[in-house]
Structure 1
Amino acid sequence: MSQSLTIRRPDDWHLHLRDGAMLRAVLPETTRHFARAIIMPNLVPPVVTGAQAAAYRDRILDALPDVVDFTPLMTLYLTEDTDPEDVAAAHASGLVSAVKLYPAGATTNSASGVKDFDKVRGVLERMAEIGLPLCLHGEVTDPEIDIFDREAVFIDRVLDPIRRATPGLRTVMEHITTRDGVDYARSQDDLGATITTHHLVINRNHLLVGGIRPHYYCLPVAKREEHRLALRAAATSGDARFFLGTDSAPHTDANKESACGCAGCFTATNTMSILAHIFEEEDALDRLEAFTSLNGPGFYGLPPNETLIRLTKGDAVVFPDRINTEAGPVTVFDPGMPVHWHVSTA
Structure 2
Amino acid sequence: MTQSLTIARPDDWHLHLRDGAMLAAVLPETARHFARAIIMPNLVPPVVTGADAAAYRARILTALPDGMHFEPLMTLYLTEHTDPADIRAAAASGLVRALKLYPAGATTNSASGVRDFDKIRPVLDTMAEIGLPLCIHGEVTDPDIDIFDREAIFIDRVLDPIRSATPGLRVVMEHITTANGVDYVKANDTDLGATITTHHLIINRNHILVGGIKPHYYCLPVAKREEHRLALRAAATSGDTRFFLGTDSAPHPDHLKENACGCAGCFTATNTMALLAHVFEEENALNRLEAFASRNGPAFYRLPVNAQTLTLTKSDTPTAFPAGIRAGDDTVTVFDPGFPVYWDVS
TM-score normalized by the length of structure 1:
0.99
CA-to-aligned-CA distance 1:203-227 (integer Å, 9 cap, x gap): 0000000000000000000000000
Query: What's the offset of the Cα at 1:342?
Result: 1.5
**Which segments of structure 1 move beyond 6 Å, counting only runs of 4 or more?**
none
Question: How many Å separate the matches in 2 of 1:332 and 1:219?
Answer: 17
Q: Could you tell me which residue of structure 2 aligns to residue 59 of structure 1?
A: 59
Aligned to 1:75: 75
Paired position in structure 1 for 2:302: 301
Measure, in 2, the Cα distance between the counterparts of 1:342 and 1:58: 31
Number of corresponding residues = 344
CA RMSD, Structure 1 to Structure 2 (Å): 0.9
Distance in structure 2 (CA, Å) of the matches to 1:342 and 1:47:
34
C-alpha separation between the residues in 2 aligned to 1:21 and 1:118?
A: 38
Which residue of structure 1 lines up, in the alignment, with residue 282 of structure 2? 281
Partner Cα distance (2:173, 2:200) in 1: 14
Secondary structure of 2:327 counterpart = coil
Which deviations, in whole Å up to 9, do the C-alpha atoms of 1:153-190 show, x marking residues without a partner? Answer: 00000000000000000000000000000000111111
What is the alpha-carbon distance in structure 1 between the residues aligned to residue 329 and residue 55 of structure 2?
22
1:228 corresponding residue in structure 2 = 229
State the AA in 2 paired with 1:310. T
Q: In the alignment, what sits opposite 1:14?
A: 14
CA distance in 1, matches of 2:264, 2:113: 17
Task: State the partner residue of 1:198.
Answer: 199
Secondary structure of the residue aligned to 1:135 is strand
The match for 1:166 is 166
| Counterpart-to-counterpart distance in 2, 1:80 and 1:342 | 44
CA offsets per residue over residues 119-177 of structure 1, 9 Å max, x none? 00000000000000000000000000000000000000000000000000000000000
Q: List per-residue Cα deviations over 1:38-88 (Å, max 9, x = no partner).
A: 000000000000000000000000000101110000000000000001011
Matches within 5 A, 1:233-312: 233-312=234-313
Identity %: 78
- State the partner residue of 2:42: 42
2:87 aligned with 1:87, yes or no? yes
1:318 to 313, 317, 320: 320
State the partner residue of 2:137.
137
Report the secondary structure of 2:264's partner residue: coil
Specify the code of the residue in structure 1 equivalent to 2:322.
P
| One-letter amino acid of the structure 1 residue matched with residue 199 of structure 2 | H
Q: What secondary structure, in the 3-state scheme, does the structure 2 residue paired with 1:260 have?
A: coil
SS at match of 1:145: coil
Name the CA distance, whole Å, in 2 between partners of 1:224 and 1:241: 23
1:250-271 residue CA offsets vs partner (Å, 9 max, x unmatched): 0000000000000000000000
Letter in 2 for 1:318: A
Q: Secondary structure of the equivalent of 2:337?
A: coil
Structure 1's unaligned 5+ residue stretches are none
For residues 32 and 45 of structure 2, the distance between their equivalents in structure 1, rounded to whole angstroms, comes to 28
User: Do 1:252 and 1:327's aligned partners in 2 also have CA atoms closer than 8 Å?
Assistant: no
Q: Distance in 1 between matches of 2:2 and 2:38?
A: 31
1:196 CA drift (Å): 0.1
Task: Name 1:339's counterpart in structure 2.
Answer: 341
Provide the TM-score with structure 2 as the length reference: 0.99
2:303 partner letter: L
Deviation for aligned residue 1:15: 0.1
**Residue 66 of structure 2 aligns to which amino acid in structure 1?**
D
Deviations 1:28-47 (A, max 9, x none): 00000000000000000000
* Cα distance in 2, alignment partners of residues 135 and 79 from structure 1: 13
